[in-house]
Structure formats: structure tokens, C-alpha cells
A and B are shown apart, each in its own frame.
Chain A
């Protein structure tokens, strides 16, 4: 059983000009079960992406640790793959070359990597676009390729950093149900970051709410809605009640974010 454990992760940054130190995230802990879908919501700038980068191993936390099944994470590894925000495909590679990239990085030959990427492109609905450059794809298709690229390395955990943020409302809903279908097929563990409350509820088994800076977990909501879920559940009472609870959690955070900065912002 592969579980992802985040324990007491704190991230402190220093402002380059003033050398003031500030806390981006503050003692964040969570345990994520294998094959579960967990979302983190929070106001913008609360350190959600920072947390994800720590889990991926791209940056080291100031204190605390991340563990995959008990083994500490210190660098990016093949057991985790990141789906970045928009436009992270390498523009000089075709769709299939992009999807094969992670495998090639692991030392698999170009030919085999591309062969293994092909079925994933089909799974995300990009059959026929294998040899297009990212610039020739719509943003929605680019994000599909992005998902396929992460899936290609067959990771245990998929880290998704607001992958649908730049899509229009219709495409986003479509991608949400596609993602659920893919998640169901692959049984990956997903850690999903978003600021869309309905997106988080619709997709997840569990939604964690992060406060404004310094980000820490202020609520942990299990979503009891049965799967498979159709988009219609977004209009049920149950859904609305959960959305209300999350919104209540966040309201005070967002309001304090709008208020002038206080000394708490810059305490080290």
C-alpha cells in the first residue's frame, strides 16, 4: 500500500530586496491513501503550488518532510509525476515527443518511449494529433497532452497544479469528467490543487482547505458522494452544502487577504 505522507512541512522564503523572511506554508501535514483523489483548495498565494513542488521534490522544505511509503522524498522521482499549469509542454517537441519525454529521461530508448506514449495519447483523446506541435493545439488539448505526459512514466502519484485553471467553463467541466474516467482506469493517487470549489468537490474523495499566507490546513472534508459521479451532482443539495462549508472556511481567509498586511505576514 503506497501512501503519501506530508509531515510538518514549512517553507520560509526571503524577499530578495528587503531580506525579510516570511512563511509561505506553515507546518502542513496530511496523509494520502493509495488510489485516493485529494484536492487542496485555498486563496491565491497561500502556498498551494509551493506545497506541490515540495511533494514533487523540486524544492526542499525549510523543515518537515515528505514520505512515499515511509521513504523520504528529496528529489523528483519516477513514483511522482507533475501535471503543470498551462503551456508547460516543450514547444519544439511534437505531442508524442512530449509525452515520451519523461520515459526518455529514465533512459528508455526514444522508439520504445514513443511506443509506450501512444496508448496514453489515445486515452486522453489525442489520437490523430500525435505529430502536432503544442502551438497547433488548443489549450484544452495541450492540457490533455500534459496529463498524458505525466501518466506515461506510470507514477504512483499524480500531482496536478491547477491544470484546468486557464480553460473556459465548458471545456473545464468536460476535462473534469475525463480526468475522473482516467483516474478510474489507472487507479493513480491524485493530489489536485485548485481554487475552484466545485471542481474540488466533484473530483475528490477528500478536500483539504488551506488558509491564506502562511498557508496551513484549516479544514479536512470527506466527500461522501457516491461514484461514479455525473456532472449532475453539482446541482444536488448535498453538493451545495459541502460547497457552502468550504466557502465559509475560505471567506474569512480571503477577507483578511484583502485587508492591509499585518506584522504577522512578515514574522519569521
Chain B
């Protein structure tokens, strides 16, 4: 065996050096892409290639953001949207995981829930809005229910898929060693379906955000969705676009948080 102190001839590059540069390259190219598009957009706007009333300039959006934050009006809206999102998403996760697990484990429950879940899932969620209003009015309860309703199927269906896809060889191991049903559930089915559950949570989180904004379009007097729709009707395009940017940012942050959680749960996945 040769030792690590192998002489390096000029021009020879080890694989490690190259891979250390790659993440930086991703960042540099990614940022320049965004900056480039923003610059083009600004220029196109200033040269009247694009009508500024229809699409505001990046600088206007930045100004709208500055105003919103400096006057503090944004915080109330943010709080309204995030709180209904958080409560709705937590409920959707909890109920969705339970429905998914129970349907996955008990075949006869699955025969009942499978068609229901699929039918409700393929039907456009927003078509249910009139019924939800009829049942829950147009207050917080309605908004919460819409968020819950939109998110729950993603969590439930992904969890169910996870349980169904638990590999037979692992179940056979549990059976061979005489594991009880409860132990099999705890040591094989739950960890085996965890990757699917996390995917469901991630999809559910972003669906719930859509639900939160949509519910404020329909009913509400506060929140980011309300802010966007109000600004839109007053032709304040820059505020609308600021709202969009903020929501995009929120989406990224939320999915990043869940991604980190996911990583904590499956450190064994190499």
C-alpha cells in the first residue's frame, strides 16, 4: 500500500478539489441567474417594453416591501396567515397520518378509505368552498377547515402508500423473530414508511399555504391573501408582487424546516 504522501505532479487535480468547488459554483450561478433576471426586468420596465401598471419594477416591489415593514402593517397579515396555516397544517398532519396508518395496517379500513380518499383528492379542492362556507360560515373556522381539507389528503395518501410499500423482507424478519403486531408496527412499519410520511408532510405544508391564501381571498379581512387581493383591486401591482415574493419565501423556509426534520429522523439513510 502506498501512503498518503504521494507526490503530486503539477496539473494533477484530485477529485476532492473539484467537488469542493462545485457547491460554490451552484450558489454563484444561482444568484447570478436571479440577479440577471431582475436586472433585465428592471431595464425592460424602465424602457417601457413592459407596462409598469401590469408588472411592477423590482425596485417598486422593494419599495413596497420597505413600506410594509417600516409601517409594520405586514406583521398582522403575516401572523393571521401563518397562524391559520400552522393550526391547519398540524391538524392535517396529525389526522392525515392517523388515517394513513390505520388504513395501511387494517385492510378492511383501507377498502373503505381508499375510494373516499382518491375521489376527494382528484376533485378540485376549491370546489368544496361553498359547502365549507355553508357549514362553517366565513370566519376563522372556515379558513381553518379549508387549510385542513386541502392538506390532509396529501399526508394521508402518502402515509398509506408508505405503509403499503413497507418491504416484505423486513416484515418477514419481524415475523420470523416472533415480533408482536404492535412491535412490528413500531419497529418496521413506522420507520419503513417514514420517508413517505415526510414527503406527505412537505407536500401538505405547501398545499396548506395555498389553502390559507385562498381562504383569505374568499373570506377574511386580514392576512397575506387578503392583502394581495385588496392591493390587486386597487391596481397596486407592486404590493401584489411583494406578497407573492413573500409567500414564495415562506414556502421555501417552511419546506427547508421540514427537510431538516426529515434529515433528523432518517440519519440512517446513507
Contact = CB atoms under 8 A, between A and B. Distances in A.
A136 B188 contact: no
Contact of B178 (A76, A91, A133, A136): A76
Interface of A: 56, 58, 75-78, 81-82, 84, 87-88, 90-93, 101-102, 104-106, 133-136, 153
B46 interface: no
Contact of B173 (A78, A90, A92, A136): A90
Contact of B270 (A90, A102, A133): A133
B259 to A, nearest CB: 18
Contact of A92 (B175, B178, B183, B266): B266
Interface string B173-186: 11111111001000
Nearest to B267: A133
Given A88-B173, A90-B173, A105 B178 contact: yes
Interface of B is mostly: helix
Interface string B30-70: 00000000000000000000000000000000000000000
Range for the number of chain B residues in contact with chain A: 20 to 34
B178 A82 contact: no
A90 B180 CA distance: 16
Interface core residue of A81, A88, A93, A153 (most chain B CB under 10 Å): A88
B251 interface: no
21 contacts: A56-B176, A58-B172, A76-B176, A77-B178, A81-B176, A84-B169, A84-B173, A88-B169, A90-B170, A90-B188, A92-B268, A101-B179, A102-B178, A105-B174, A105-B177, A106-B178, A133-B267, A135-B268, A135-B269, A135-B270, A153-B177
B191 interface: yes
A84 B269 CA distance: 21
B187 interface: yes
B34 to A, nearest CB: 36
A101 B187 contact: yes
Nearest to A102: B177
Nearest to A87: B169
B262 to A, nearest CB: 13
Interface string B125-138: 00000000000000
Given A87-B169, A88-B169, 5 more contacts: A88-B170, A101-B187, A105-B177, A134-B268, A135-B269
Given A92-B191, A92-B268, A105 B179 contact: yes
4 tightest A-B CB contacts, nearest first: A135-B270, A92-B191, A102-B177, A133-B268
A58 B177 CA distance: 10
Contacts of B173: 84, 88, 90, 101
A3 to B, nearest CB: 21
B194 to A, nearest CB: 8
Contacts of B169: 84, 87-88
Interface string B149-173: 0000000000000000000011011
